[in-house]
Structure 1
């Protein structure tokens, strides 16, 4: 039985009114960089030794955003996935937690699975009420500038996001070019990349419009709308009016 891979870790916290990287642990092939910044947010860049993931790599990273922090997480370049050897997979696992009032923008460059590669990715984010997550999941068809297009063996990803312990997002994707026709209109057609963006968190509260007079069925209708994943708030709309004859 193989030994589970060790987890890398990074954590940010508020320090004298600014978000700072307070914990960092890198397990190869991952390398964590923290470029200096004059603003109050913290920018962390993920890189790797060797310029990509080889067959058998199992990169695991835990991310923690303390209360009220502001984190931008990006990558140094595209994440290249090299060809599989003996059917082995290259894998990445991310587990993130955000405390109340924290904001994280996770904006990596695309994953680029090269010919004959096999790639697996799992992401799980747990948010406290009041936290906000902007997450981009981006991958390309291969080294398209070299004419390589959907030449990998397998690509699998799973994204889970929960708020206050309540699951909100479960997005699974699997693509096998040997079984699926990549250029079919139902799949990718002429396109060569796929980008999914998730925005999870409380919306900015806006004052409701003030209607003249009491709220009556002849003037407006009221209903309850989901303004966030865990909180309901009333909203009000006018009844549509007919244009004068």
Structure 2
């Protein structure tokens, strides 16, 4: 069978069934079988450069994913397509299988974000899984900066992101993870059962650039220790795939610091195979981490496209 013959969420199902850290979570929910109709969703976005600006040329979806239209609200980059990912459920539940596929054609420029945080609810059986595939063609520019992931107490969440980026393209990908609803209940802070988050990068011809996997099991391994989270609560992992000369300029401007009193630590280093940079941030509060990610984002914009960031939205 060809790839098109399989449902889009097949990869989300496969990675969950084959990941060793999820072997003990293969039981089925009593309410509705995992991966059943109502538990699966997908979104395919294709953005292309046409007549001097980027347009949303392809859109396929199945609830709970939804996108309404591309907006052109960035005064610094009027040709940039801004796309807001919407989920009609507002959360992920046990047995959910979601798939997101984003493709940027040559010279396309886009900013993709979410309408709110991804909340992963408490689970008694199985797990929630999401697969993401991001393809960025020659000379394209993509900012993929969704709101944070909030894993509730006893949640089980698996995420796998595959990146295919051309040598002349730029991709800025951010993933922010909160410790849970720490102001809601003391046991919510690092109360998730397991979070597994993988990211891999390759060239369009299949040549592997890098791979990273983060597995968090707070009930099995202490989070409050040096080398893990220590006294910090919020974590951001920002991946920049960019041509080597641009990555070097950005790295020269990316500071590193450890401020225990202020509750913030951050720094950047090179990805292997001249793929770009990885920028990591730790903070005690989400606002601190998001602000530091925004600073790095501003540097990327200036060095890659020569534009400044617009003012932050009032609701962010």
Q: Same fold (TM over 0.5)?
A: yes
Counterpart of 2:147 (choices 100, 109, 117) is 109
Partner of 1:94: 132
Encode CA deviations 1:16-44: one digit per residue, 9 max, x unaligned. 11001111112222122435215101111
Structure 2 matches for 1:40-59, cutoff 5 A?
Answer: 40-59=79-98
2:122 to 76, 83, 91: 83
Q: How far off is 1:6 after superposition?
A: 6.2
The farther-off stretch of 40-49 and 60-69 is: 40-49
1:203 deviates by 3.8
* In structure 2, C-alpha distance between the alignment counterparts of 1:93 and 1:43, rounded to whole Å: 22
Length-normalised TM-score, structure 2: 0.62
Which of these residues, 52, 58, 71, is aligned with residue 36 of structure 1?
71
Q: 2:173 aligns to what?
A: 135
For residue 226 of structure 2, the aligned residue among 171, 182, 185 is 185
Decide whether the 8 Å contact of 2:43 with 2:66 is kept in 1: no
Aligned counterpart, 1:163: 203
Deviation at 1:154, TM superposition (A): 0.5
Q: Contact 1:163 / 1:229 at 8 angstroms: preserved in 2? A: no
CA distance in 1, matches of 2:56, 2:172: 19
Aligned-partner Cα distance in 1 for 2:48–2:86: 22
Task: Give the C-alpha shift of residue 185 in structure 1.
Answer: 2.3
Aligned with 2:183: secondary structure?
A: helix
- CA 1:76–1:6 in structure 2 vs 1: closer, same or farther (change >3 Å)? closer
Counterpart contact for 2:244–2:275, Cα < 8 Å: no
- How does 1:156-235 map onto structure 2 within 5 Å? 156-164=196-204, 165-204=206-245, 228-229=274-275
Equivalent-residue separation in structure 2 for 1:89 and 1:97 (angstroms): 27
Asked if the contact 2:41–2:65 (Cα under 8 Å) also holds between the matched residues in 1, the reply is no
- The 3-state SS of whatever aligns with 1:108 is coil
Contact 1:202 1:227 in 2 (8 A): no
Q: Which has the higher helix share?
A: 2
- Give the number of the structure whose alpha-carbon radius of gyration is greater: 1
Normalization by structure 1: what TM-score?
0.79
How many residues matched? 208
Task: Please identify which structure carries the higher strand content.
Answer: 1
Q: Is the 8 A contact 1:101 1:130 kept in 2?
A: yes
CA root-mean-square deviation: 2.2
2:51 is aligned with 1:16: yes
**Contact 2:209–2:273 (Cα < 8 Å) also in 1:** no
